[in-house]
A = this chain, B = another copy of it.
Amino acid sequence: MPVERLVVIGGDAAGMSAAAKVRRTDSQRSITVFERSPHTSYAACGMPYLLGGLIDHHDKLIARTPETFREKYNIEALTSHNVLEIDVPGQSVLVEDLNKKKTFRAYYDQLLIATGADPVFPQLPASDANGIFALSTLASGLQVQHFMERNNPRKAVVVGGGYIGLEMAEALIRNGLQVSLVERGEQVMGTLDPDMGAMVSDALRDIGVTLYLRESLIGYEAASGKVTAVVTDQRTLPADLVIVGLGTRPSTSLAASAGIALGVKGAISVNPRMQTSAPGVWAAGDCAETFHLVGCKPIHIALGTVANKTGTVAGINLSGGYATFPGVVGTAVSKICKYEVARTGLTERESDTLGLCYVTATIKSRTRAGYYPGAGWITVKLAAEKVSGRLLGGQIIGLEGAAKRIDVLATALTAHMTVQQIVDLDLSYAPPFSPVWDPLQTAARQLLAQY
Contact = CB atoms under 8 A, between A and B. Distances in A.
A198 B331 CA distance: 35
B305 A429 contact: yes
A329 interface: yes
A342 interface: yes
B427 A308 contact: no
A69 interface: no
B426 A410 contact: yes
B43 A328 contact: no
A38 interface: no
Contacts of A13: 436
A43 B428 contact: no
A414 interface: yes
A61 to B, nearest CB: 6
A376 interface: no
Instruction: Indicate the member of A13, A303, A328, A371 with the most B CB atoms within 10 Å.
Output: A371
Contacts of A334: 430
Nearest to A437: B308
Given A43-B371, A371-B43, A415 B404 contact: no
Interface residues on A, range: 35 or more
A155 interface: no
A344 interface: yes
Contacts of A372: 46, 49, 54-55
A370 to B, nearest CB: 8
A63 to B, nearest CB: 9
Contacts of A54: 372-373
Interface stretch (A89-97, A217-225, A227-235, A417-425): A417-425
Contacts of A121: none
Contact of A428 (B293, B342, B414, B425): B342
A103 interface: no
A279 interface: no
B433 A414 contact: no
Contact of A404 (B49, B423, B428): B428
Nearest to A449: B24
A85 interface: no
Contacts of A428: 331-333, 342, 344, 403-404, 406-407, 410
A132 to B, nearest CB: 25
A434 B404 contact: yes
B405 A426 contact: no
Contacts of A55: 371-373
Contacts of A369: 43, 45-46
Interface in A356-394: 369-373
A289 interface: no
B431 A49 contact: yes
A280 interface: no
24 contacts: A46-B371, A46-B372, A49-B371, A49-B431, A60-B371, A304-B429, A305-B437, A308-B437, A325-B424, A326-B424, A330-B426, A332-B428, A333-B428, A335-B432, A340-B433, A342-B428, A401-B401, A404-B428, A404-B434, A407-B408, A407-B438, A408-B411, A411-B415, A415-B417
Given A43-B431, A412-B415, 17 more contacts: A13-B436, A45-B436, A54-B372, A305-B426, A305-B429, A309-B424, A325-B424, A331-B427, A333-B433, A335-B432, A335-B433, A403-B433, A407-B408, A410-B426, A411-B427, A414-B425, A415-B415
